[in-house]
Structure 1
Amino acid sequence: MARPARQSMAAPIGRFVRGSGHHLTRSIAAALKIKLHVSGIAYRGPEAILKATGDPMTALRPLVLACILAVPLGAHATDATVTDEMFVTSDQVDLNQFKWKKRPLVVFADTADDPAFAEQMELLRALPEELERRDVVVITDTDPDARSDLRLKLRPRGFMLVIVGKDGGVKLRKPFPWHVREISRSIDKQPERKREIREMKERARGR
């Protein structure tokens, strides 16, 4: 007895898509138009492709590709904004403006060419999300001749990494570069950070 032929799902799906035609294409295009505009990608509707080919599936291909590309581009733009706001120089800020708001992480060196300074900045920029999660702002000072208020207060010698708490007190000094994981562990041991973690857990349970 002959087995019944297995029907491919491609034909019914194809008929459905083509039957939906313009409505399907335009609905997806409308949704993507907003997404692509926000992501900074130039948008051109599928009408020209649809008119030339008569095939909605062909018209959808560039839109699907653009959608895939739009997500990482938007994410990178957000990351860049966060990083720019997180890293500042000592002449731009005053420690008092961060009290009870941010945890200043101060990186001193006698010159920006100091290998220890370059290594520390590379480590910090590699994991900005960990710093952001702990409300860290990175302040750099590589000009001892400027005698900034921050330098006069903390009195570094050559390269120095200083962790300042939200209360304005110095929590830790290191004369060598430190990995973000070590910095994070040090911050998480601080009483004010422990309180923040406890409060976040309580809010999560209350949802």
Structure 2
Amino acid sequence: MKPFLALVLSSFLTPALGCSALADTAEQPALIQSGEGVNLASFQWHKRPVVVFADSPEDPRFSEQMAYLESEQQALLDRDVVVLTDTNPSAASPLRKALRPRGFMLVLVGKDGGVKLRKPHPWTVRELSRSIDKFPDRLREVEDRREK
């Protein structure tokens, strides 16, 4: 009788747990977004945009950078990072007008809206995380989480 009861209870609890897990993932915004028509000011004080520019989506540096970013998404989400991509130089997007890239470029923008880092070559998530973790506002965030 006990194994049957356990089977019945598990069949009721499993869908409920699965739905809550799906709801949690649905609430999180996409980490990687197209930068087309995006205004950096909309992220101010909420997110740290990492903007990846290239002249073409086939650029090997762009592919390498995206592979780095996709491989360790949780580390970026923990640091409130959103990744914006722009691979169309002829569109003259607001991001291109504001940040003026030449070919491939990785730009890290702080929550205050200021450019914190520009790199002409791909960076790993570890390198980005170490740079972000040195920001005064990131240090404050870590302290606030410890106190709670």
Q: Structure 2 CA distance, aligned partners of 1:120 and 1:180?
A: 9
Tell me the alpha carbon deviations over residues 68-122 of structure 1, each in whole angstroms, 9 at most, x when there is no partner.
xxxxxx68x94x985x711111125321111100000000000000000000000
**1:200 shift after superposition:** 1.5
Amino acid at match of 1:39: G
Q: Structure 2 CA distance, aligned partners of 1:31 and 1:195?
A: 43
- Normalising to structure 2: TM-score of the pair? 0.89
Q: Structure 2 CA distance, aligned partners of 1:99 and 1:152?
A: 18
Q: Which ranges in structure 1 are unaligned for 5 or more consecutive residues?
A: 1-20, 41-73
Q: Which ranges in structure 2 are unaligned for 5 or more consecutive residues?
A: none
**1:169 shift after superposition:** 0.4
Where 2:30 maps in the other structure, the secondary structure is helix
Amino acid at match of 1:105: V
Amino acid at match of 1:35: T
Amino acid at match of 1:30: L
Output aligned runs, 1:1-207, within 5 Å: 21=1, 23-36=2-15, 39=18, 78=25, 82=28, 85-91=30-36, 93-203=38-148
Structure 1 residues 88-97 or 131-140, which shifts more? Answer: 88-97
Where 1:194 maps in the other structure, the secondary structure is helix
**1:38 shift after superposition:** 5.2
Q: Structure 2 CA distance, aligned partners of 1:96 and 1:27?
A: 53
Q: Larger relative contact order (C-alpha < 8 A, sep ≥ 6)?
A: 2
Name the larger-Rg structure.
1
- Count of matched residue pairs: 146
Amino acid at match of 1:181: R
Q: Report the structure, 1 or 2, having the larger strand content.
A: 2
Distance 1:81 1:201, change over 3 A: closer
Distance 1:81 1:123, change over 3 A: farther
Distance 1:194 1:37, change over 3 A: closer
Taking every aligned residue pair, what percent have the same amino acid on both sides?
49
Where 2:36 maps in the other structure, the secondary structure is helix
**1:35 shift after superposition:** 1.6
Q: Structure 1 CA distance, aligned partners of 2:37 and 2:6?
A: 48
Amino acid at match of 1:107: V
Amino acid at match of 2:12: K
Q: Report the structure, 1 or 2, having the larger helix content.
A: 1
**1:27 shift after superposition:** 3.8
